[in-house]
Structure 1
Amino acid sequence: MTGNAPAATRAMGVLRVLAQAPGPLTAAGVGAALGLPRSSTYHLLTAMEQEGFVVHFPEERRWGLGVTAFEIGAAYLRHEPLERLARPLLARLVAQAGDTSPLAAHLGVLHGRETLYLLKESTKRPITIVAEVGVRLPASLTASGRAMLAQLPSAQVRALFPNRSAFVDRTGIGPMSLPELRRLLQEERNLGYAEEIGMVTPGFSSVAVAVRDHNRRPVASIGLTFPDDVASAAQRSRLATSAIRAAAELSRRIGMKEGAV
């Protein structure tokens, strides 16, 4: 970025730099990150301070995000962008399945060691599953949860599952230790999607793919759940491919850069 960039572009650059920093930065640090001259950086920060977007800590000679930036962040959550952007994609997945195929498409997020389901769309032949909106299930057992866990750093997975008491058994199938979970996550990373067969409810399977933000962090997952007796191996593969495409599209919609993997 140069001093010739539009003021709005430079202001957004300041917000982005401060948001990604572990703490407040000096004006020189902000300027260096954006490639701006010292004088331009100071005038930009001063103008943004007047509007509440940044705050100056004079004793530390540093700058941080201001209350207006916080208000915008809170408003972002109220607008539910993830759910609004995902809903038409889930509806499309259901429509692709056809009227005669019982299937549910859902959007889930990690909530500690659990998968929290935010959205669900079903075919005209609905299926009764436990993954309803608002329900939480063990992330280590659900395809939706493991799709996200597989994209987390190893240390973060270990922090979530420090010992055997962190694991839950619902049907006698599924990982019950950290080594077992790690092996399963690696297999699913290689596969390109997570798959759950009877770990949550006997007779039902799911496939899921992580949705990632502009920092490539997993923020959600798109999953498909279906009865075992109506899905052949070929159909499972097609459903997984559809979930991969939908998750990639949602990732792009929320800001993940093209080519990021």
Structure 2
Amino acid sequence: MSHASQQYAFTEPRTVKRAQVKPSEREHQTSSSAPRVSLAPAADRTLDILEFIASNGQTQAATLARELGIPRSTVYQLLEILERHGLVTRLAEQRAYGIGLKTFELGSAYSRQHRVSQVAHPVLARLVDETGENGHLAVLHGNEIIYVIEERAAHRPPLVSGVGVRLPSHLTATGRAILSALPRNQVRALYPNRQAFTDRTGIGPKSPKELEATLAETQRTGFAEEHGDVTPGFDSYAVAVRDYNDFPIAGLALTFVSGSLRPEQERSLKTKLRLAGTELSRRLGAAGSLT
């Protein structure tokens, strides 16, 4: 079994640093009696819960109630609201809660506790074992992609797609897979003119029109392809991973040495990649075959 180049470990619980105020006193504070005024206790407690999970990783409801001084019934009610809005995710096997996908914009908790990373790791590890090729998962941030998981196959050369690396989305297979599933007006907003296009090897789209043609081909075949656009001598295939809203939440890819696979091997690789993308999409709440 292959192993991820970066593990997502959690540390011991660290209580969110707040002014030590009893819950019954929060509603009655004024600016003269405390550094923070709380006019909405429910919202205040909800943010406390979210910040605690962001700081400590997956956390049980009982721990939240004890550490934050909130009645357990209230904790469950607030967690239900946070889960419904995608801000936290319930981890049934651990009987705990972790950071949800929609907190991506809230900061560094994204890279450490991203739900996609947690769910995708076993799927990607198995895909790499079955194919013997390097694999990775990336998410879109602006018009760049950020690699959040990398799985290296045995006896395969290292790639530039290490965890945390950013690359232009229009040059990568994962980026093209995601872009092809976005609304056209959103793609145009990300790439409005030629100035938005960067270059690495001289290969790849250099204008909105060329990108549109590339994405149309991706939609037609169901796979995004990249042949030396990022690193000469390496090819990649990728599929989009979707969530419960049918939104392309990530790109799942395999990368291999150019010319190293026979046609039947490439077909087999694509089939396994498609199945892995579909499985991951389903695990994230998508219905049906979406990749």
Q: State the TM-score, normalizing by the size of structure 1.
A: 0.70
- Distance across 1 between alignment mates of 2:156 and 2:289: 36
Deviation at 1:260, TM superposition (A): 5.4
Partner of 1:140, secondary structure, is: helix
Q: Does 1:158 align with 2:184?
A: no
Deviation at 1:70, TM superposition (A): 4.8
Structure 1: tracts of 5 or more residues without a match: 1-48, 55-65
Q: Where does residue 220 of structure 2 map in the other structure?
A: 190
Alignment counterpart, residue 235 of structure 1, candidates 256, 265, 269: 265
- Distance across 1 between alignment mates of 2:210 and 2:250: 23
Alignment counterpart, residue 73 of structure 1, candidates 87, 112, 130: 87
Q: Does 1:201 align with 2:231?
A: yes
- Distance across 1 between alignment mates of 2:128 and 2:184: 34
- Give the aligned residue type for 1:93: L
- Give the aligned residue type for 2:179: L
Partner of 1:144, secondary structure, is: helix
**Among the aligned pairs, what percent are the same residue?**
45
Aligned residues: 198
Alignment of 1:1-261 (within 5 A): 69-70=81-82, 73=87, 75-77=98-100, 79-98=113-132, 103-258=133-288
Deviation at 1:173, TM superposition (A): 0.7
- Distance across 2 between alignment mates of 1:238 and 1:118: 25
Structure 2: tracts of 5 or more residues without a match: 1-39, 47-76, 89-97, 101-108
Q: In the TM superposition, what whole-angstrom CA distance separates every residue of 1:185-222 from its partner, at most 9, and x where no partner exists?
A: 00111001101001000000000000001111100011
Deviation at 1:106, TM superposition (A): 0.4
- Give the aligned residue type for 2:235: S
User: Do 2:278 and 2:290's aligned partners in 1 also have CA atoms closer than 8 Å?
Assistant: no
- Give the aligned residue type for 1:115: I
- Give the aligned residue type for 1:211: V
Partner of 2:170, secondary structure, is: coil
Q: In the TM superposition, what whole-angstrom CA distance separates every residue of 1:208-256 from its partner, at most 9, and x where no partner exists?
A: 0000011111000110001013122322222122111111100000101
- Distance across 1 between alignment mates of 2:250 and 2:131: 22
- Give the aligned residue type for 2:121: R
Q: In the TM superposition, what whole-angstrom CA distance separates every residue of 1:156-207 from its partner, at most 9, and x where no partner exists?
A: 0000001111101111110000010001100111001101001000000000
- Give the aligned residue type for 2:269: L
Q: State the TM-score, normalizing by the size of structure 2.
A: 0.63
- Distance across 2 between alignment mates of 1:51 and 1:126: 52
Superposition CA RMSD, Å: 2.5
- Distance across 1 between alignment mates of 2:199 and 2:150: 24
- Give the aligned residue type for 1:197: H
Deviation at 1:80, TM superposition (A): 2.7
- Distance across 2 between alignment mates of 1:254 and 1:181: 28
Q: In the TM superposition, what whole-angstrom CA distance separates every residue of 1:95-135 from its partner, at most 9, and x where no partner exists?
A: 1124xxxx211010001111110001111113221111110
- Give the aligned residue type for 1:97: T
User: Do 2:281 and 2:290's aligned partners in 1 also have CA atoms closer than 8 Å?
Assistant: no
